[in-house]
Amino acid sequence: MPRLVLASQSPARLATLKSAGVTPEVVVSGVDEEKVLADATERFGELDPADAVLVLAQAKAEEVASRLERARDNTEADAPDAPDDVIVVGCDSMLEFDGTVVGKPADAAAARERWRAMRGGKGVLHSGHWVVDLRDDEAGGTGGTLGSTSSTTVWFADIEDDEIDAYVATGEPLHVAGAFTIDGLGGPYVERIEGDHHGVVGISLPLLRELLGELGVPWRTLRTPAAPGRRRT
C-alpha cells in the first residue's frame, strides 16, 4: 500500500483526506511562495490564477520530495524519515474575483472589505495539485511527477454588514484563501457552487484520484484498512 505525504499544513485538506479514508503523513514545505511566483513570472510572463496555483503546488511537492529523498540517501541527518513507498502531493489555492487574485486577507479590516466586495457576487476558487512518485521499483514506482488545477465557481450570499462583522470576528476568514470556507463557519454564506466542492476546501478528491491513476495507483490502495463508510439515516 503506498503512503501519501501531504505537503501542506492545511487542517481542511487533511480532514478532507481523512473523511475519504486516507490518512497521510503531513510534511510542511518551506517554500517562499512570493519568490516562487516571482521566478515563474520572470521565466514565463504573467501567470493566470490557474497556472499560479499549479506552480506553487509543484514547488511545495518537489521541495518536500527533495527533502525526503535526501533523508533516504542519508545525506541530511535532520530530515524526516522517507520510506520507499511514498507519493507526495502538494496543493495551493487562490480565489479569482473580478479578474483579481485574492489570497488570505492581511487583517480583519481587509477581510471585511473583501466580503463587502464579494457579497452577492461570484468568484472562481482555483486549487492546484501536484504529485511526485518517490516509490522505488519494487513498490511499483514510476518516477512520475505531474499536476493539474481544479477550478470551481462560487456564488456568495448578499449578506448584511453586521453578518460580515460577526463572521470576521470569528477569525476564520483570516486563515483561508478568499477569506471564506465552505466546510466551516463560512458555509452558510456560500449560496451555491459549480464544480467540485472538495476543490473549494483545497484538495479535489476526484482530481487527485485521476492524477494518482496516471501513476498506476488506484485510489482504493490509499485507504486505511477497514476504514468504515459513512451511512445516511
DSSP β-ladder status, 145-156 and 100-102:
unpaired
Is residue 92 annotated as a catalytic residue, yes or no? Answer: yes
Distance CA 191, CA 106 (A): 25
Q: Which of 51, 84, 85, 92 is catalytic?
A: 92
Q: What contacts 24+ positions apart, CB below 8 Å, involve 62-65?
A: 62/90, 62/130, 62/132, 62/145, 63/7, 63/29, 63/30, 63/31, 64/5, 64/7, 64/27, 64/28, 64/29, 64/88, 64/90, 65/7, 65/132, 65/134, 65/145
99 and 121 in contact (C-beta within 8 Å)?
A: no
Active site residues: 92
